Structure 1
């Protein structure tokens, strides 16, 4: 059967109805936890905003696959294509090798286990005859007997056992934790059994595919008449265009920031290079390294007189104590290596009123502990001299001040363009205090031996030589574009180096050795060199701190800020080159069209069938500022095609922050995308869910852009890190949108609210029905509570964004008008109503609907999360989302632990009397009184006395007694502690008896 172009033109996409959000969440986090093992981070991990590739694949695939009328079968095919199904998991687990023969034997029943396994015997009391008589071969895990696979067993037989063993695990998470990520497995082998099932399922459409590019192209023809094109106007680190191209889509990527465009280019042309092109890139890397190595070696600045070669130099600031006049080295810790017990010792030099620094290896545990406490402690310079401790606040040393008009400043000298090191009269000077050397005899070995040593006069002479070379060539190198000459523009992040060190040009963030080394690398300027040099800039700067547990420098943007340090390390050629050319993943892309452009999101020139974007909403990472760190180096002579881009951060044009300007910028961007997609096109918008105010803003943006929300999913994409502090949560909301139907449609609050509630109810009940069907067959639901909650929001947005006027006000004008602080709009009210409608349907299992309807937000939160914890839920984002949904003011008060992946509520026994006073949120509630009552029962207070206290404290006791009984019955089943469940049973029985006795 031949394909019929546009046969799916008006067909709803699968993602509008079904999406395995829980499984995608787990796989996304699994990819995140791979850290530098992620496919694109080899190009530079400084861009933290990359969305997981597995998430991008799921979104694009779900947007192209059609609904067939059988949601369960559609979901099954989708999971096969994502390698989430049982066969995919078995293949992924087999490649991982996580299940050993003894593990498989222990989990499976086999008629003849010795068809699969053999064994070895070493110093065992068992004979071969005894071992082969065992019906349970996992008994072979006994002393002296080791179970292993038979040498002649075939792969298909192993897969049979892997499938059986994985079936014994309770959850998808347990199974997938044993597996390789789908992208780590050979794709032809992984998907070999999938294509026949896909072709059968879509036979009525004429699909005959044997690879992702074939499937994607055929789906594109059926929908759009051509291979689908995916666009991203906020391409950032390039994950969306890269993964879209990898599965077979044409891609259009753009970003205002040239660093984002460069990383996207690298993803598509370096990571996605053919094997032949990859070999050429590697060869070019080696040639550059050899040329730079030759120059550095000839200068004689990294070898000592014994032939040892430097791997790292360690520097610290030094300042004059205002009390003693001594020059004091500054460092928060004098530990150099934790693994080898190496420290730096300060030895007073009375004659010169300064400290000598001696590097000592193999010191005692006590000496290590003493060295942990450096001369910078709690924001002060602290040191001991002649038995007296001196302490001076750093802000005093800097001379910090604040003028009456609010202006702040300090006495630090502002460095000038020709500076690259402190001057002798600067407040903060700099000092080389230790060197890590590679032993001469191991330089050519794969495993080199290193040692740390004190600084000698010969070392200082080499240091002076480097400084002289830089001083003689700095201006010329800057003119030639080998070193930056760009000023640091003040800003949220960029104020920090100016304020804390007096640095005013970007080259001030690099010391003389680094400037010399980078000037040699920047002689080579292919596009690949630009990508690799930018990566190494992140690991080799004055603001890269020394990690004494790993014996190397950290990357500058480990937390997306321009942090200054009192001590730092630098990488010499050997360690620098290891970071620059450490290797990169290779995942050849199919032959698809790839276009990258550097422009504002509103300046579109090309159309796409599907726009997938991750906009910078409320983003605490100021990429438009911090990437100037790289732009300063790369802007002078960019190679083709980079020379077509504007090498400036263009801060004024960046969409950032929140508020009125942000909304206007977003409306312009999404209107441009809507105008550059076909009528049956779709958009996916990813953003961090924070509160209903966020949703209200997004409604206005999509309204004004002419878009209508058709689905929403919640994905836990992140792992814990410093980036999650403040406004960050762990998850991402996936919003799917289509063009709003043409024509005017007026709505009024009184009519919209019932429609919203009805749509929320329909959406959630549909999803819960599918949950029940899948759970009956496979033991696990498709959707969790967060998915259902997001679906409630989406249903409200679907209704709302269909209107063109609300209460007589044009929605575009509404979206763009300035908002008064604290203003509650009609949209805010409707979105909140949607949240409440969704939450009212999410009654915890075992709790009465009437009870649920009467509970306050904090009570709903506690009981809902208690129910979720019984399923093993422990992710902080769940608690955050439900606290916001239930409008809990301070959910932390009822939390025992708030770790990102190990969060939990306080147990009944963990509440203190302070937690349960009338001044707390939970204290005066019915649940608060029950917790006190249960604590009293556990303290062996007579139950009758507890009942009497409840009667005294609850004026409406008789009316709410059925609710109290229902909550106690729920806690009897759900509380994690046996003693609490027993106490709830006792107290509940007494309350029931009161009813029975008519009291």
Structure 2
């Protein structure tokens, strides 16, 4: 019997009670490591910060699934739907192995889950028949009649909302969330302020989500278009040498006049063209013309190849020697004419004009072609021979032909929208090309060859929305911001947005047509047809006008990429002549409307957006807010935003979503907070004095529930679901759930308080409440071996160190865990306690031997604490100092030794247990630490005073 409409209307969602974050983290990490193999990345690798599809799937399904009295069964069903159950995992492993090795699957199934995942196919890579075994159990448990996930999703949507569920993302970005929602069988509403984001989302639905027949049509159209484009390019005769070779890449460099010698010097950071093939550049002085000819050739020795790593640009200086003896060095800032006007940095570069597309003869920075990479198809197969050659007179004649052709057609092409005529607006990222090159319009970032190729492509694709979607991916491959990568057999060009900036280069590369034309139809082979209703709009989030049942959002925040600026690079090419499917969108970045920063504008924009979403969802609607946080102030702001939007936290989870490649100085965020939100229906009032008991009770109930489920799972010989970091987040959620349920606290209207502007250096009432709630939650998580009173007696830094020792014992070594606990414990300089070898996914605390005698006194948080004294004692024992002497030093170093004697012994026992069994290295020897800790604990207990 089918589920009745609204039968689950008031049932809590699974995501509000349980979420197997460790398994989801493993799956998310696997997907992120797939790089270019990810499903949507081929549409536009320039868009960073994509949330894994598997995480989006988990959030949407867990928002629809109900909680029953049998939590273990709930978990089992969820894992089946996610492809994380044992039977599906076996199929995933088998699918990843050649037939000859499939007998070894049994050995793989006993590995930890994260290792199984690393060797298995991703669930999205498998066809539906791999999941046929799940439907009997799923339908039995849920009372459904589904035979596929879209059928199940529709039935669950009817049971909850009376219709197929409608999922919305008003910060759609690259379309990861909307696409996964549509693939699961939801109706989808997607919007973004940025038209490039909307185009990527449209592409996810209509290109990646296209049927097999539609994909075949696109491939046929792409072949015809490619032939037309190549025909027009070839008619000019500028990409071939007449001997069967075609240009694959052109290498250019900036050239300046040395003020000391009058010589024109090519600016080359190094002279290596291809390190693997030992191909280098040699400068040949021409004293009559005062120029350097550039010769391409093979290095005669390893020494010559090594010396070639130093070019004419060294430490911001132009370095050259016309006679091979006298070396001249001139600072590039001097050549550019840098100076200060008040606090503003300026220079004497000429600002380029709209009609410019090459430097004028008297410009400070000139450009020249210095090498061409040629390719020629081999007689058999699809492979090519590759050659690097010096530039010939014939090459320069072809170069001039391109310049003349672009010069003739520039104005006409700009009027038609084939190439840009848009001014570069000043901004944090867009100031770079203006300041360093004098480029004032977006077409200045492209040389004549690039304008020629891209202009022709743009002219032909405007009637084909699928290919217009792919055009920004081609722009990302073809500008003066594409660096030449000189490693590898073939060498290669980097993308414009290999980082999220607009950094100008002294030398760069330009691709030949054949090296970019295939991007017209470059999509992943994974087939996932979208059959539901999808709608894509471009508007600010707060202008939402339609109701949706579930909102899954990954909003912008203070440290987010400044897409509102850098995507103007793409918008400038498309705004005048977008495909008719996109013509109704606003083709502007609309910087002034973008939610960004960490100031009051950010908070107001976010409150307006989430308040509107709250208004535009049913009373039983649910919101899932993903938040990859970095700034503590922004994390506090999120709680304010939720309160002010009329929402209540019902759960919070923590999932690892980032890879080591994302690790940057000062930005070591490796995971995503998942906040689950509901409408706040009642106007409840309380007082702060009463909150403590309520928060503690809620935290206790939440944590004990999860620990109980974890124990049941482990009892079935399965890996545990949760670590202490997960329990901490659950405790935090329970505390926030209590807080955000109230509309008035201590007589104050919490919406008004949450919206109140911040005053620098002063905590708001909301900040104080959140701090109080967090501390209450953290204090409940007392490690086994300590009494609550003893634990609270310790200083925050001591509790942090001991808690993280337990985390390491559990194998949770990602740096984000340390960051999260440091914030919770209010440890301001946790990095002082971390090993120098710490990385994003393999962080650890310093051992006593690494502290040595440091941080015993002074400003360090751990200085002059009993724990620091204990660690020094362990260090002394490892150096074979006599135990009696170690105890004497411990008595001197430890404040109030006698009252702390029992606690010191307990801490030593605790560290011995947590260090034991950890995998050591040549420099990391936890077994020695454990042994010393046991000796010290025993010595303290038996000490007679």
Q: TM-score, normalised by structure 2?
A: 0.96
| Distance change (3 Å), C-alpha of 1:854 and 1:467 | same
Question: How far apart are the structure 1 equivalents of 2:404 and 2:586?
Answer: 34
Q: Which residue of 1 aligns with 2:411?
A: 475
SS where residue 167 of structure 2 aligns? strand
The partner residue of 1:401 within 314, 327, 339 is: 339
What are the within-5 Å matches in structure 2 for residues 70-81 of structure 1? 70-81=70-81
Question: How far apart are the structure 2 equivalents of 1:388 and 1:845?
Answer: 72
What are the within-5 Å matches in structure 2 for residues 897-908 of structure 1? 897-908=837-848
Q: Which residue of 2 aligns with 1:782?
A: 721
Q: Which residue of 2 aligns with 1:145?
A: none
| Distance change (3 Å), C-alpha of 1:230 and 1:440 | closer
What are the within-5 Å matches in structure 2 for residues 60-99 of structure 1? 60-97=60-97
Q: Which residue of 1 aligns with 2:215?
A: 278
* Aligned residue pairs, count: 930
Question: How far apart are the structure 1 equivalents of 2:722 and 2:377?
Answer: 60
What are the within-5 Å matches in structure 2 for residues 216-227 of structure 1? 216-227=153-164
SS where residue 320 of structure 2 aligns? strand
The partner residue of 1:166 within 108, 125, 138 is: 108
Q: Which residue of 2 aligns with 1:633?
A: 573
Listed one character per residue, the Cα deviations across residues 38-92 of structure 1 (whole Å, up to 9, x for unaligned) are 0001101111132110000000000000001111110111011101111121110
| Distance change (3 Å), C-alpha of 1:472 and 1:904 | same
C-alpha deviation, 1:636, in angstroms: 0.6
Question: How far apart are the structure 2 equivalents of 1:383 and 1:859?
Answer: 58
Does 1:390 find its partner at 2:328?
yes
Q: Which moved more, 1:430-439 or 1:374-383?
A: 374-383
Q: Which residue of 2 aligns with 1:749?
A: 688
| Distance change (3 Å), C-alpha of 1:373 and 1:914 | farther
Question: How far apart are the structure 2 equivalents of 1:917 and 1:353?
Answer: 64
Q: Which residue of 1 aligns with 2:423?
A: 487
> Residues 869 and 890 of structure 2 are in contact (CA less than 8 Å); yes or no, is this contact kept in structure 1?
yes
C-alpha deviation, 1:757, in angstroms: 2.5
| Distance change (3 Å), C-alpha of 1:808 and 1:383 | farther
> Residues 273 and 586 of structure 1 are in contact (CA less than 8 Å); yes or no, is this contact kept in structure 2?
no
Listed one character per residue, the Cα deviations across residues 692-718 of structure 1 (whole Å, up to 9, x for unaligned) are 533432222122221111111111111
| Distance change (3 Å), C-alpha of 1:912 and 1:325 | farther
Q: Which moved more, 1:774-783 or 1:361-370?
A: 361-370
Q: Which moved more, 1:784-793 or 1:1-10?
A: 784-793
| Distance change (3 Å), C-alpha of 1:691 and 1:853 | farther
Question: How far apart are the structure 1 equivalents of 2:891 and 2:454?
Answer: 77
Question: How far apart are the structure 1 equivalents of 2:909 and 2:756?
Answer: 51
> Residues 865 and 895 of structure 2 are in contact (CA less than 8 Å); yes or no, is this contact kept in structure 1?
no
Does 1:762 find its partner at 2:711?
no
Listed one character per residue, the Cα deviations across residues 534-568 of structure 1 (whole Å, up to 9, x for unaligned) are 11001111111111124221111121111111111
Q: Which residue of 2 aligns with 1:2?
A: 2
Runs (5+) with no aligned partner, structure 1: 102-148, 150-157
SS where residue 399 of structure 2 aligns? helix
The partner residue of 1:214 within 151, 171, 185 is: 151
| Distance change (3 Å), C-alpha of 1:215 and 1:558 | same
C-alpha deviation, 1:580, in angstroms: 4.1
> Residues 361 and 452 of structure 1 are in contact (CA less than 8 Å); yes or no, is this contact kept in structure 2?
no
Q: Which residue of 1 aligns with 2:922?
A: none
Q: Which residue of 2 aligns with 1:807?
A: 746
Listed one character per residue, the Cα deviations across residues 280-312 of structure 1 (whole Å, up to 9, x for unaligned) are 111111111111111122211011142311000
Q: Which residue of 2 aligns with 1:499?
A: 435
Question: How far apart are the structure 2 equivalents of 1:334 and 1:464?
Answer: 25
C-alpha deviation, 1:98, in angstroms: 7.6
Question: How far apart are the structure 2 equivalents of 1:754 and 1:696?
Answer: 22
Q: Which residue of 2 aligns with 1:891?
A: 830
C-alpha deviation, 1:212, in angstroms: 0.5
Does 1:657 find its partner at 2:597?
yes
C-alpha deviation, 1:168, in angstroms: 2.4
Q: Which moved more, 1:911-920 or 1:308-317?
A: 911-920
Q: Which moved more, 1:831-840 or 1:577-586?
A: 577-586
| Distance change (3 Å), C-alpha of 1:435 and 1:854 | same
Q: Which residue of 2 aligns with 1:42?
A: 42
Does 1:979 find its partner at 2:917?
no
C-alpha deviation, 1:898, in angstroms: 2.8
Q: Which residue of 2 aligns with 1:860?
A: 799
| Distance change (3 Å), C-alpha of 1:689 and 1:861 | same
> Residues 845 and 867 of structure 1 are in contact (CA less than 8 Å); yes or no, is this contact kept in structure 2?
no
Q: Which residue of 1 aligns with 2:274?
A: 337
C-alpha deviation, 1:208, in angstroms: 0.9
Q: Which moved more, 1:581-590 or 1:43-52?
A: 581-590
SS where residue 952 of structure 1 aligns? helix
The partner residue of 2:289 within 336, 349, 352 is: 352
Listed one character per residue, the Cα deviations across residues 137-158 of structure 1 (whole Å, up to 9, x for unaligned) are xxxxxxxxxxxx7xxxxxxxx6
Listed one character per residue, the Cα deviations across residues 809-833 of structure 1 (whole Å, up to 9, x for unaligned) are 3222222221100211222122222
SS where residue 711 of structure 1 aligns? strand
Listed one character per residue, the Cα deviations across residues 727-748 of structure 1 (whole Å, up to 9, x for unaligned) are 4611111111111114x32232
C-alpha deviation, 1:846, in angstroms: 4.9
> Residues 865 and 894 of structure 2 are in contact (CA less than 8 Å); yes or no, is this contact kept in structure 1?
no
C-alpha deviation, 1:492, in angstroms: 0.8
Does 1:28 find its partner at 2:23?
no
Listed one character per residue, the Cα deviations across residues 199-229 of structure 1 (whole Å, up to 9, x for unaligned) are 11123xxx11110011000001111111101
What are the within-5 Å matches in structure 2 for residues 572-651 of structure 1? 572-651=512-591
> Residues 692 and 828 of structure 1 are in contact (CA less than 8 Å); yes or no, is this contact kept in structure 2?
no
Q: Which residue of 1 aligns with 2:389?
A: 453
> Residues 703 and 730 of structure 2 are in contact (CA less than 8 Å); yes or no, is this contact kept in structure 1?
yes
Does 1:259 find its partner at 2:196?
yes
Q: Which residue of 1 aligns with 2:206?
A: 269
Q: Which residue of 2 aligns with 1:937?
A: 877
C-alpha deviation, 1:368, in angstroms: 2.1
Question: How far apart are the structure 2 equivalents of 1:915 and 1:464?
Answer: 67
> Residues 125 and 526 of structure 2 are in contact (CA less than 8 Å); yes or no, is this contact kept in structure 1?
no
Q: Which residue of 1 aligns with 2:230?
A: 293
SS where residue 459 of structure 2 aligns? coil
Listed one character per residue, the Cα deviations across residues 405-442 of structure 1 (whole Å, up to 9, x for unaligned) are x1221111111101111122111111111100013655
| Distance change (3 Å), C-alpha of 1:618 and 1:691 | closer
C-alpha deviation, 1:979, in angstroms: 2.1
Does 1:988 find its partner at 2:937?
yes
Q: Which residue of 2 aligns with 1:509?
A: 445
CA RMSD of aligned residues (A): 1.9
Does 1:377 find its partner at 2:314?
yes
| Distance change (3 Å), C-alpha of 1:711 and 1:818 | same
The partner residue of 1:875 within 798, 814, 817 is: 814
Question: How far apart are the structure 2 equivalents of 1:491 and 1:602?
Answer: 24
The partner residue of 2:371 within 423, 431, 434 is: 434
SS where residue 710 of structure 1 aligns? strand
Question: How far apart are the structure 1 equivalents of 2:493 and 2:630?
Answer: 35
> Residues 650 and 677 of structure 2 are in contact (CA less than 8 Å); yes or no, is this contact kept in structure 1?
yes
SS where residue 541 of structure 2 aligns? coil
| Distance change (3 Å), C-alpha of 1:697 and 1:583 | closer
Q: Which residue of 2 aligns with 1:184?
A: 125
